[in-house]
C-alpha cells in the first residue's frame, strides 16, 4: 500500500472557494474580533477548522437520504440505522441525538451528581462542559508521553493505568458515576488508544464496579491505527477490531459528524436497560422521540450509510495517508508538530513555534489568526483559550500543557494540492514569527469561552498593565 494512497473516489460535484485579498482578510479578522469562529465561511479559502460535520457525503449517502422516512415514530430510517449500529457497536440499546454533545448531555444528566468525578484520557471540551454543568469534575489521566510533542509513542492517547487506579482508590469508586476514554484523543493531538490499553481500562473500571463509556467520535480512525500498529491486528478487518473494542465498554457517546461522515447526527448506546429508560426520558424532553432523537429520518439514513463507509479499508488508508502527507510536508519545512500525527488532523506546536508569546497570551490563537491573514486558512486553537480551566480547589487558571494549533482535515474534501498550499502558507508565516503578537481577551463567557471570545492583539513592545479578563474571571 502506498504511503499516501490516492483518493479512492473521484469528484463529481464541486463547490467554488475564493481567496480574498490581504486587505479584505485583515478587515474580516478584525471584524471577527480575532476569533475565527466569528468569520463568515465565504471569507475563508481553505477551512481546516474542524473535521466535524464538514465532510463530503458520498453518492450512496445522498441516495439514501431520498429514502428517508419522516414518520414521527417508528420510521424505517430508524430501523435501518439500528441494524448498522447493532452490527458495528453491538450494544443492546441506542438513542439517536442531534450530535455528540447531546449524547454527552443525556449521559451526564442521567449519571453525574454534584461533587462526583469522571476520569478519561483527556475529555474533549463538550464532554468536559457537560460534566461540569452537572456539578461534576472531569479528570484527565492520559499517559505522560502525550504531553511531550516530539517523543514517538504508537498510542499516545492511552490512559495512564497506574494514575487511574490510584485516582479511583483516592476518590472512592462510589464517587465516580462512570469512567470514559476518548478514541482518538482529540484534545491530546488526535492520538489513538491501543486495544491493550482499552482492555486494561475496561478491567480496571469493572474491578471497581464503575460503568465504562467510550467517546467514540473517531473510533474508525482509532481502529485503523490498531490494525497498523498493534501486534496481532494486521489481518483483522476494521469491523472486527471495532466489535472487539466496543465489547469492552458499557456504552458510548458518538458524534456522527466525525466517523459517521454526516453533516449532522449522533447517538448514545448502552447495555444497561435502566439507564436506557432514563436516557429515553431525557431525550424526550431535550431532543425528540426515541426513534428520531433530534434528527430528520433522512439524517438517520445518511448516518447508517456513512458509518459503514468509514470502516472501509481503502478509505481509512487514504484518510491516514492525507494527514501523513501534510505532516511530512510540515516536517520538511521544520514546522514543529505533534509526533506522530493523528488521523483527523495535524497539530502544530504553537508554543514551540512562538516561544515569545506566553500561555496567557494564547500562542495557538495567535498563529491561527496569522494563517488566516497570510493565506485565508481557518484553523483552530487547542490551547489556553479553549482548554484552560479554573482549578476546582484554588480557582487558579490551569493552563494546558501544550499550546496547539489544529489543522483538521474534513473527510474527502481537500486534495493534495490544497495541502501543499497549507504547508506553504505555514512556512511563510513561520518565517516572520518574531513579529507575531500575542492576544488578550476583551470578552469571555464562563464556559466554552473559545466559541464567543473577543480578543485584541497585544502590541509587541508594550506589556499589558491591566489585569486580563482571564484573571478577573477567577473572582467570579
Ligand atoms: N467528543 C470529541 C472527541 C469531539 O471531538 C467532539 C467534537 C465531541 C465529542 C462533540 O461532538 O460536535 O457532534 O457535539 N469535536 C468537534 C471538533 C467540534 O472540532 O473537534 P459534537
Taking only the tens place, the pLDDT of each residue in 109-130 is 999 999 999 999 999 989 999 9
Q: Is the per-residue pLDDT at 60 higher than 90?
A: yes
Asked whether 344 and 190 are in contact (CB, 8 A), the reply is yes
The pLDDT of residue 2? 58
The pLDDT of residue 72? 97
Three cell numbers written together for 2: 502506498
Instruction: Summarize the confidence of residues 136-145 as an average pLDDT.
Output: 97
**CATH class of this structure's domain 22-51+325-474:** alpha beta
Instruction: Summarize the confidence of residues 125-154 as an average pLDDT.
Output: 95
Asked whether 335 and 427 are in contact (CB, 8 A), the reply is yes
Q: Residue 255: CB within 6 Å of ligand 1?
A: yes
What residue owns the CA closest to ligand 1's atom 1?
124
CA dist., res. 242 & res. 330, Å (int): 31
What residue owns the CA closest to ligand 1's atom 5?
186
Indicate the Cα dihedral angle 196, 200, 201, 202, nearest 10°. Answer: 100
Model pLDDT for residues 371-406, shown as the tens digit of each residue: 999 999 999 999 999 988 888 788 888 998 889 999
Q: What's the mean pLDDT when you consider all of the chain?
A: 94
Q: Residue 50: CB within 6 Å of ligand 1?
A: yes
Backbone conformation region of residue 294, classed left if phi is above 0, alpha if psi is from -120 to 50, else beta: left
The pLDDT of residue 462? 45
Q: Residue 291: CB within 6 Å of ligand 1?
A: no
Q: Is the per-residue pLDDT at 167 higher than 50?
A: yes
Domain ranges of the chain: 22-51+325-474, 59-309
Cα 460 to ligand 1 centre (Å):
34
Q: Residue 464: pLDDT band by 50, 70, 90 thresholds?
A: very low
Q: Residue 100: CB within 6 Å of ligand 1?
A: yes
Pocket of ligand 1, candidates 101, 138, 268: which has the most ligand atoms within 8 Å of its Cβ, to mutate? 101
Model pLDDT for residues 432-441, shown as the tens digit of each residue: 999 999 999 9
Q: Residue 189: CB within 6 Å of ligand 1?
A: no
What CA–CA distances, in Å, run from 420 to 257, 323, 341, 413? 26, 12, 17, 14
Cα 255 to ligand 1 centre (Å):
7
CA dist., res. 193 & res. 186, Å (int): 11
Q: Which CATH number, 3.30.70.270, 3.40.640.10, 1.10.10.10, 3.40.50.10800, labels domain 59-309?
A: 3.40.640.10
The pLDDT of residue 455? 97
Point out the ligand 1 atom lying closest to the alpha carbon of residue 408: 19
Q: Residue 257: CB within 6 Å of ligand 1?
A: yes
Q: Is the per-residue pLDDT at 427 higher than 50?
A: yes
Which is more confident, 470 or 177?
177
Pocket of ligand 1, candidates 48, 106, 126, 130: which has the most ligand atoms within 8 Å of its Cβ, to mutate? 126
Q: Residue 460: pLDDT band by 50, 70, 90 thresholds?
A: low
Q: Residue 344: CB within 6 Å of ligand 1?
A: no
CA dist., res. 338 & res. 125, Å (int): 19
- Roughly what angle, to the nearest 10 degrees, separates helices 22-31 and 363-375? 140
Q: Residue 268: CB within 6 Å of ligand 1?
A: no
Amino acid at each position: 500500500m502506498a504511503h499516501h494512497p490516492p483518493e479512492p473516489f473521484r469528484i463529481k460535484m464541486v463547490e467554488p472557494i475564493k481567496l480574498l485579498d490581504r486587505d479584505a482578510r485583515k478587515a474580516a479578522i478584525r471584524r471577527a474580533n480575532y476569533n475565527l469562529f466569528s468569520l463568515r465561511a465565504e471569507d475563508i479559502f481553505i477551512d481546516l477548522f474542524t473535521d466535524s460535520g464538514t465532510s463530503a457525503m458520498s453518492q450512496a449517502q445522498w441516495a439514501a437520504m431520498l429514502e428517508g422516512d419522516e414518520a414521527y415514530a417508528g420510521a424505517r430510517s430508524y430501523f435501518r440505522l439500528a441494524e448498522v449500529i447493532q452490527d458495528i457497536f453491538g450494544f443492546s440499546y441506542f438513542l439517536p441525538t442531534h450530535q455528540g454533545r447531546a449524547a454527552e448531555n443525556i449521559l451526564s444528566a442521567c449519571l453525574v451528581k454534584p461533587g462526583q468525578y469522571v476520569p478519561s484520557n483527556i475529555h474533549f471540551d463538550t464532554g468536559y462542559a457537560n460534566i461540569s454543568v452537572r456539578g461534576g469534575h472531569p479528570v484527565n489521566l492520559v499517559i505522560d508521553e502525550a504531553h511531550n510533542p516530539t517523543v514517538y509513542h504508537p498510542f499516545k492517547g492511552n490512559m495512564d493505568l497506574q494514575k487511574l487506579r490510584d485516582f479511583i482508590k483516592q476518590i472512592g469508586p462510589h464517587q465516580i458515576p462512570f469512567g470514559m476514554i476518548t478514541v482518538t484523543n482529540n484534545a491530546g493531538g488526535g492520538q489513538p488508544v491501543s486495544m491493550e490499553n482499552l482492555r486494561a481500562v475496561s478491567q480496571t473500571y469493572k474491578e471497581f464496579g464503575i460503568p465504562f463509556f467510550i467517546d467514540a467520535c473517531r473510533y474508525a480512525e482509532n481502529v485503523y491505527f490498531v490494525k497498523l500498529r498493534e501486534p496481532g491486528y494486521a489481518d483483522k478487518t476494521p469491523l472486527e477490531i471495532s466489535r472487539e473494542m466496543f465489547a469492552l465498554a458499557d456504552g458510548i457517546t458518538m458524534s456522527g459528524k466525525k466517523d459517521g461522515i454526516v453533516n449532522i447526527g449522533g447517538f448514545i448506546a448502552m447495555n444497561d436497560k435502566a439507564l436506557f429508560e432514563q436516557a429515553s426520558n431525557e431525550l424526550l424532553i431535550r431532543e425528540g422521540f426515541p426513534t428520531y432523537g433530534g434528527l430528520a429520518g433522512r439524517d438517520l439514513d445518511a448516518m447508517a450509510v456513512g458509518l459503514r463507509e468509514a470502516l472501509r479499508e481503502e478509505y481509512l488508508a487514504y484518510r491516514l495517508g492525507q494527514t501523513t502527507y501534510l505532516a511530512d510536508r510540515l516536517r520538511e519545512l521544520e514546522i514543529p508538530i505533534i509526533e506522530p500525527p493523528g488521523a483527523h488532523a495535524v497539530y502544530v506546536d504553537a508554543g514551540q513555534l512562538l516561544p515569545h508569546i506566553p500561555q496567557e497570551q494564547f500562542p495557538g490563537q495567535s498563529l491561527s489568526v496569522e494563517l488566516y491573514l497570510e493565506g485565508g486558512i481557518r484553523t483552530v486553537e487547542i490551547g489556553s483559550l479553549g482548554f484552560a480551566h479554573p482549578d476546582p480547589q484554588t480557582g487558579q487558571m490551569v493552563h494546558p500543557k501544550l499550546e496547539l494549533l489544529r489543522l483538521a482535515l474534513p473527510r474527502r474534501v481537500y486534495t493534495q494540492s490544497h495541502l501543499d498550499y497549507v504547508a506553504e502558507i505555514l512556512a511563510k508565516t513561520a518565517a516572520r514569527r518574531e513579529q507575531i503578537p500575542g492576544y488578550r481577551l476583551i470578552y469571555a463567557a464562563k464556559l466554552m469561552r473559545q466559541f464567543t471570545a473577543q480578543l485584541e492583539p497585544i502590541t509587541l513592545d508594550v506589556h499589558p498593565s491591566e489585569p486580563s479578563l482571564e484573571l478577573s474571571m477567577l473572582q467570579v
